[in-house]
């Protein structure tokens, strides 16, 4: 990290990523280090989610996508899943409504089907209640898996062909993008993964074709505003070529 510190970009010259993705990872390890149940790590991570979302909105980020629960996370013990569902419910009832002061538009990406009727209703209520705001778009990835998202897009496109809405030859990259949960949004410029894991874990596979990745050796519940600033500095030190020279 010292290397990047030397290249610190003065704030006035800093380029802000338009869209940031965050894989909110490391809650379990944070709790384990403190001999606490994993659910305590998720509770601590939830608070950081609230703080960092607000911070991104304050500094002028236009789109933030946070990975909260993957299609693979259902494999976890029932006790942990139950604690997470309870946490989601609390957040949907309280924290997300708080975002109205920041004009944040809340959207959920992922398949809502397996969630309880109560959670589904709360998710829809939050989306409907915030859709006319003019601030940062916050995508919360819940039961999100990028492979699942791509399969869903393929099915939609096949239906379009079958119903003669368009023909096979007109299928292009834009049409695929338009059939993803993130339709109409710019691709992420920067994806941050705290907790030190060097993998994507089924997050935004199509959308991250040219995203800059920043892996940080910090567990999500320990993540601070200054860590987000550091990730933006690292992003500024990168030379994005998009296949050019």
Could you tell me how many residues of this chain bind ligand IPE (CB under 6 A)?
Answer: 17
Tell me the C-alpha distance between 201 and 187, whole Å.
17
- Asked whether the beta carbons of 23 and 189 are under 8 A apart, the reply is no
Looking only at residues 4 through 63 of this chain, which bind Mg ion when binding is defined by CB under 5 A?
Answer: 25
Residues designated catalytic: 25, 73
Taking the least distance from each CB to Mg ion, the nearer of 81 and 175 is 81
Minimum gap (Å) between residue 88 Cβ and ligand IPE: 10
- Asked whether the beta carbons of 145 and 202 are under 8 A apart, the reply is yes
Looking only at residues 106 through 135 of this chain, which bind Mg ion when binding is defined by CB under 5 A?
Answer: none
Two tokens at 31?
A: 């709790």
CA distances from 51 to 55, 99, 102 (A): 6, 11, 12
Looking only at residues 71 through 90 of this chain, which bind ligand IPE when binding is defined by CB under 6 A?
Answer: 73, 84
Over the window 186 to 225, marking each residue x when it contacts ligand IPE by CB under 6 A and - when it does not, the resulting string is ---------x-x-x-x------------------------
> How many angstroms separate the most distant Cα atoms in the chain?
59
Taking the least distance from each CB to ligand IPE, the nearer of 41 and 135 is 41
CA 119-140-54 angle, to 5 degrees, is 115
- Asked whether the beta carbons of 68 and 49 are under 8 A apart, the reply is yes
Taking the least distance from each CB to ligand IPE, the nearer of 157 and 192 is 192
Tell me the C-alpha distance between 137 and 109, whole Å.
12
Q: Which residues bind ligand IPE (CB under 6 A)?
A: 23-29, 67-70, 73, 84, 195, 197, 199, 201
Q: Which residues bind Mg ion (CB under 5 A)?
A: 25
């Amino acid at each position: 990290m010292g290397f990047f510190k030397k290249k610190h970009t003065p704030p006035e010259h800093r380029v802000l990523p338009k869209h940031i993705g965050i894989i909110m990872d490391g809650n379990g390890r944070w709790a384990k280090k403190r001999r606490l149940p994993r659910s305590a790590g998720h509770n601590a991570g939830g608070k950081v989610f609230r703080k960092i979302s607000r911070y991104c909105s304050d500094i002028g980020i236009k789109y933030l996508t946070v990975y909260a629960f993957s299609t693979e996370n259902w494999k976890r013990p029932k006790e942990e899943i139950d604690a997470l569902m309870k946490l989601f419910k609390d957040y949907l009832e309280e924290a997300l409504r708080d975002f109205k002061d920041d004009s944040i538009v809340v959207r959920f990406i992922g398949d809502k089907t397996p969630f309880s009727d109560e959670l589904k209703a709360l998710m829809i209520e939050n989306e409907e209640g915030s859709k006319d705001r003019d601030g940062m778009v916050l995508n919360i990835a819940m039961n999100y898996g990028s492979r699942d998202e791509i399969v869903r897009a393929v099915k939609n496109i096949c239906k379009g062909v079958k119903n003669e809405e368009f023909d096979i030859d007109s299928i292009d990259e834009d049409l695929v993008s338009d059939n993803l949960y993130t339709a109409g949004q710019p691709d992420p410029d920067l994806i941050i993964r705290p907790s030190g894991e060097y993998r994507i874990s089924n997050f935004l596979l199509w959308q991250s074709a040219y995203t800059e990745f920043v892996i940080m050796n910090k567990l999500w519940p320990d993540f601070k505003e200054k860590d987000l600033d550091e990730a933006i500095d690292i992003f500024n030190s990168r030379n994005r070529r998009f296949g050019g020279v």
